[in-house]
Chain A
Amino acid sequence: MLQKIYDWVDERLDITPMWRDIADHEVPEHVNPAHHFSAFVYCFGGLTFFTVVIQILSGMFLTMYYVPDIINAYESVYYLQNEVTFGVIVRGMHHWGASLVIVMMFLHTLRVFFTGSYKKPRELNWVVGVLMFFVILGLGFTGYLLPWDMKAYFATVVGLEIAESVPVVGDFTKTLLAGGEIVGAQTLARFFAIHVFFLPGALLGLLGAHFYMIRKQGISGPL
């Protein structure tokens, strides 16, 4: 049955070459923990991606309850945390997942650095990776404000003060992020938009480029 559906689609869209492109790639011995246990360091990139997927899924569920305005934001998070079935788990996954992405990404960066994998011909992939590092830090910073509790608010106030201290572009950056002079309703709306649309969009684009380059170039060889 499945085979028949596959053949039906394949006859019309010729998906076999595409599928073989995706499925066919080798896992060399030196990155396979089944052969060399120390090769577990090559898992960090995959685990970063896995946690990013968890973040996207749990975040999608969080937006089913979360309301991005200063009157209801805190109430909706409180309700999600205390009343909604499994709300505490979903919010917990998003909260701890944020830390885990940072940890895994940091370990992945160190692995790539210390195995010298960023060298020619993989310079561009390294640059894309570091850009993702910045995007994820930005996701952490903007997501921190959204519960609209005390530490969220005051951490953002301090963060924006630091941004303001940057010469030349500081004032512009602060106004762009805060949407005005104070951290208030506009700031929450902007941080929500940045956290949910702008940065995830950028992250997905960069991830696509990251994976495409890995597939095109293959994983770096043994040391």
Chain B
Amino acid sequence: MQRGKGMKFVGDSRIPAERKPNIPKDYSEYPGKTEAFWPNFLLKEWMIGAVFLIGFLCLTIAHPAPLERVADPTDSGYIPLPDWYFLFLYQLLKYEYAAGDFTVIGAVVIPGIAFGALLLAPWLDRGPERRPMKRPIGSGLMLLAVVSIIFLTWESVDDHDWEAAAQQGEIVDVDYDVDESAEGYDIYLSQDSCIGCHGDDMLGTSAGPPVFESDYDVDEIIEIIHEGIGSMPGDQFDGSEEELETLAEFIANDGQEP
């Protein structure tokens, strides 16, 4: 940098009037096959970036981002699952000595030690040796951590009931317009056993589907309420045979007064 007397500036600014040449550095005297980042290496890097981007776009086209049904905080039967990169932390909390009374161990102590050690690695391993084979303790601990993360993620994926998960989150087509002034609706509301699984809006919960989902006729509906079907028990209706018929007609008519 030029100093002292005789410096000329552009106008009254502090920009030197003398232009500096805009020429790249010469790397020919550098060791090995050093090359300039700009523009030589950046052009090659862009090619790798382009290939990477194409692969990435193919992924987004082949697998659209998932979206489940809208959040329903009252649905306590939902089995939660974090995104895959948190699964190892989540799985840790399922083991006996890292959960329940020991939650602090699984939630704070173990991750705290692991991530704390990662943060402080330069001070835990201060030797000058850089080759992984020459510092077996550091490399060994890192390998152990990587294997543990893979193992815990694997266990978590294995434990999870993926079919139930896909079903519980499915977007249900709730196009049913339930007539809440109908007689059948009042009868339904008086039946605690129905509401228990099908919800007070008749549109289902995690324990039972919407009552309108299957296209049964009146007689079939009465028979199902009497006999039960699948995991639904029979003989739960509490009322007269006439009321049952009114309710069945209401259900068969997709929630409208017949």
Contact = CB atoms under 8 A, between A and B. Distances in A.
A181 interface: no
Given A120-B122, A150-B169, A32 B82 contact: no
Interface string B108-123: 1000000100110111
Nearest to B99: A165
22 contacts: A14-B15, A14-B20, A16-B19, A24-B36, A26-B34, A26-B37, A34-B44, A47-B49, A54-B56, A70-B71, A78-B67, A88-B65, A110-B142, A122-B122, A133-B118, A148-B70, A149-B69, A150-B70, A150-B72, A154-B79, A158-B80, A220-B130
Most buried by A among B41, B71, B90, B125: B71
A105 to B, nearest CB: 10
A12 interface: yes
For the side of the interface on B, what is the size category? 35 or more
Interface residues of A, number: 88
A120 to B, nearest CB: 7
Contacts of B125: 119
Nearest to A82: B67
A119 B85 contact: no
A92 B63 contact: yes
Contact of B130 (A26, A70, A117, A137): A117
Nearest to A121: B122
Interface in A60-94: 70, 74-75, 77-78, 81, 88-89, 91-94
A223 to B, nearest CB: 6
A77 B69 CA distance: 11
Interface string A96-122: 111110100000011001111111101
Contacts, number: 220
Interface stretch (B23-31, B183-191, B193-201, B219-227): B23-31
Contacts of A98: 83
Interface of B: 10, 13, 15-16, 19-22, 24-25, 27, 30-38, 40-41, 44-45, 48-49, 52-53, 56-57, 59-61, 63-73, 75, 78-86, 89-90, 93, 103-104, 107-108, 115, 118-119, 121-123, 125-132, 135, 138-139, 142, 146, 168-169
Contact of B85 (A24, A50, A137, A159): A137
B32 A29 contact: yes
A223 B85 contact: no
A41 interface: no
